[in-house]
Amino acid sequence: MNLKKTWDLVLIIFLSITLNFFIFFSPENPLRIVLGLPFVLFFPGYVFINVLFKKENNLENIERFALSFGLSIAIVPLIGLLLNYSPYGIRIIPIMISLTLFIMLFAIIGIYNRNTVNEPWFPKINIEELKNDFEWKTSSKLDKFLTVILIISVIASVMTLGYVISAPKQNEKFTEFYLLGPEGKAYDYPTNVFTNEKNEVIIGLVNHEGKSVNYSIEVWLVNLTYDMNINQTNISNMYLMDEIPVNLDNRPVNIDENWTKQWESNYNFSIGTSGKWQQWYLLFKNTDKEEFETLKSLKPEEKIKFALNGSIQSLKLNINVND
pLDDT along the chain (323 residues), means of 10: 80 93 81 85 91 79 81 89 84 89 94 86 65 60 72 72 58 90 92 95 95 96 78 82 96 77 95 93 93 93 91 95 91
pLDDT, position 161:
63
Q: Which long-range contacts (CB under 8 A, 24 or more apart) does 29-36 make?
A: 33/162, 33/165, 33/166, 36/165
Phi, psi angle pair for 186, to nearest 5°:
-85, 50
pLDDT, position 89:
78
Report how far residue 183's alpha carbon sits from residue 196's, in angstroms, rounded to the nearest whole number: 21
Sequence length of the chain is 323
pLDDT, position 131:
56
pLDDT, position 1:
61
Q: Which residue, among 227, 251, 238, has the nearest Cα to 282 in the 3D structure?
A: 238
C-alpha radius of gyration, the chain, whole number = 30
Q: What is the pTM of this model?
A: 0.55
Pairing status of strand 313-322 against strand 192-194: parallel
Report how far residue 39's alpha carbon sits from residue 15's, in angstroms, rounded to the nearest whole number: 8
